[in-house]
Amino acid sequence: MRIGTGFDVHAFGPGDSIVLAGVRMAHSRGIIAHSDGDVVLHALCDALLGAAGLGDIGMHFPDTDPLWRGVASSRFVSTVMEMLSVRGWVVGNADITVIAEVPKLAPYRLEMRRTLAQLLGVGENQVNIKATTTENLGFLGRREGVAAQAVVLLAPKPG
């Protein structure tokens, strides 16, 4: 078994929606990012790569590479999952914390969980999404952006 953690932040910018855990949700702002700025999937990639001892998302998908401009971050997760699969790893479980005052995740939480389970090739009961605020403190509290933390456990592929 191997454990990994990930953390990511993106700032709000012009726009009317953001993507978290592969789910687009209406918001009064957009996200400033090279890709779609999905902090959940970016933190998740870092947790997966960390658990496997494979560095971080910036090493594999540099934001200076035009190849990754504007792509859906689910592409990053699928690519990382292939890297883990060839090395004999499957996901045991993933636990995600989204840190933001806005938007509120409640209406999207089931869909986020379903999307993450699909991307990771696990059951929905192996994925958990938590949401918290910073009690109006700091840049997240001032609603300047959104952050996510991820913890992932990898297990050897059965058989």
Residues that bind Mg ion (CB under 5 A): 8, 42
- Smallest gap from residue 158 Cβ to Mg ion (A): 32
Phi, psi of 131 (to 5 degrees): -130, 140
Q: Which is nearer to Mg ion, 60 or 90 (CB)?
A: 60
Q: Count other Cβ atoms within 10 Å, centred on residue 31.
A: 22
Which is closer to Mg ion, CB of 8 or CB of 91?
8
Closest approach of Cβ 110 to Mg ion, in Å?
24
Burial 78-98 (b: 16+ CB within 10 A, else e): eebbeebeeeebbbbbbbbbb
Of 8 and 131, which CB lies nearer to Mg ion in the complex structure? 8
Q: Residue 157 CB, nearest distance to Mg ion (Å)?
A: 28
Residue nearest to Mg ion (CB): 42
In which order are the strands placed within the sheet that holds 127-132?
Answer: 30-31, 2-13, 145-156, 89-99, 127-132
The amino acid present at 70, given as its one-letter code, is: G
Minimum distance of Mg ion from residue 39's CB (angstroms): 6
Place of tokens 């933390």: 149
**From the CB of 44, what's the least distance to Mg ion, in Å?**
11
Q: Which is nearer to Mg ion, 115 or 126 (CB)?
A: 115
Closer CB to Mg ion, residue 91 or residue 150? 150
| Cα four-point dihedral sign 67, 68, 70, 71 | positive
